[in-house]
Structure 1
Amino acid sequence: MFDLLNYNKDKLLRYHLKLVTALGVDTYSNKELFFSCRRSYHQEEPDFGCHLACIYFK
């Protein structure tokens, strides 16, 4: 399985960031705490929202 967490962490560290932290929380399995577009899709819910996050380097 592709390791998205470490892939992204390595990419960010290449920009000489001093600290990159991963919370280690699974949003898919924590339905009471987190929304998950992937979980909603897998459960074939008719309507679900999406979230987008961006990081900009100048």
Structure 2
Amino acid sequence: MKFWANRFKEPSSWAGIAMLASAVFGVPVNTTQVVVNTVTAVCGAVAFFAPEKTSV
């Protein structure tokens, strides 16, 4: 359980989830696709700006 909790704390995990969701659901061109694209963009931005933990 701790493994999954640690994975969900990493920004790259959320970016991966958003990318996977947009690829799996393959929504048609409508409001749903706009929402999915927006979530993907936001997760990508968060993954870019949020620092990863470093093990020193």
- TM-score category, normalised to shorter length: under 0.3
Greater helix content: 2
Q: Which has the larger radius of gyration?
A: 1
The TM-score, its normalising length taken from structure 1, stands at: 0.25
The TM-score, its normalising length taken from structure 2, stands at: 0.26
Asked which structure has the greater RCO (Cα within 8 Å, sep 6+), the reply is: 2
